[in-house]
Amino acid sequence: MTDTVTDAGYDSMRARLVDYLRLHVGMEQISERVLQAIGNVPRHLFVRERDREFAYNDYPISIGHGQTISAPHIVAIMCTLMDVKAGMRILEIGAGSGYHAAVLAELTGERGTVYSVERIPELMKFAQQNLSNAGYRNVVVTTGDGTLGLPEHAPYDRIVVACAAPAIPEPLTDQLKHGGRMTIPIGGRVQELYMIRKNEVISKEKIGAVVFVPLIGKYGF
Ligand code: SAH
């Protein structure tokens, strides 16, 4: 272990990150429950070893293969929009480091499950390893084209797309439960984050501008 920071050091960095999010992003966009979940997830175990000391700063960090772990505030905002209740079945597209899945796992609890699909096999292994090191047993990471969803465990209460899509992939709305919610960034270099609600009709609410890596696949770029 080449770590120069102690566990107590990471704990206090994490507490400072939570305070920062509470003060600077604000409670309209981030719920107290989500802040607690962020406060429980050891984010330094979801970046490469050399980047651990930066893990509690509010910006994205490279995880290799041209991909990034999203900034904490964006994870917090998306998780708040998802309004996750204990026991829910959640699908994430784009596991990356596994961090966002870990925050969702905190929110759905032991009775719920998070399924996460990752296109790049090396990152699927990275996410699995990180989640296992951090002690999460209710997250299942698989490799494949997430634009097709994961029909074998559908329907889902919530779907989170962690990469930018040209449009909403139809398999994802098909695999969303009635009464379910999905968050997805749509657009080119800069995207709009949308919250989708599936009831008798599918409604789309624009949340704000975001920048994600592209969703690559059959119903992606
Ligand atoms: N949620 C991640 C960050 C995701 S970055 C975290 O918390 O660290 C977006 C990820 O989506 C990348 O790892 C990229 O490889 C993946 N991706 C892109 N297109 C995909 C697809 N069609 N299916 C599954 N994963 C995809």
- Those residues whose C-beta lies under 8 Å from the C-beta of residue 59, and which sit 6 or more positions away, are 71
Residues 144 and 124: their CA atoms lie apart, in Å, by 9
CATH superfamily of domain region 7-210: Vaccinia Virus protein VP39 (3.40.50.150)
Residues 29 and 148: their CA atoms lie apart, in Å, by 30
Task: Out of 31, 70, 97, 116, pick the active-site residue.
Answer: 70
Q: Indicate the average pLDDT of the chain.
A: 96
- The CA 8 to ligand 1 mean position distance, Å, reads 31
Mutate to test the pocket of ligand 1, among 216, 218, 219, 221 (most ligand atoms within 8 A of CB): 216
Helix 99-108 and helix 72-82, axial crossing angle in degrees, nearest 10: 30
Indicate whether 2 pLDDT > 80. no
Q: Above pLDDT 70, what percent of the chain? A: 99
Contact call for residues 115 and 175 (beta carbons, < 8 A): no
pLDDT in tens, 120-162: 999 999 999 999 999 999 999 999 999 999 999 999 999 999 9
pLDDT in tens, 41-70: 999 999 999 999 999 999 999 999 999 999
Residues 148 and 175: their CA atoms lie apart, in Å, by 9
| Per-domain boundaries in the chain | 7-210
pLDDT in tens, 153-194: 999 999 999 999 999 999 999 999 999 999 999 999 999 999
What's the predicted TM-score (pTM) here? 0.97
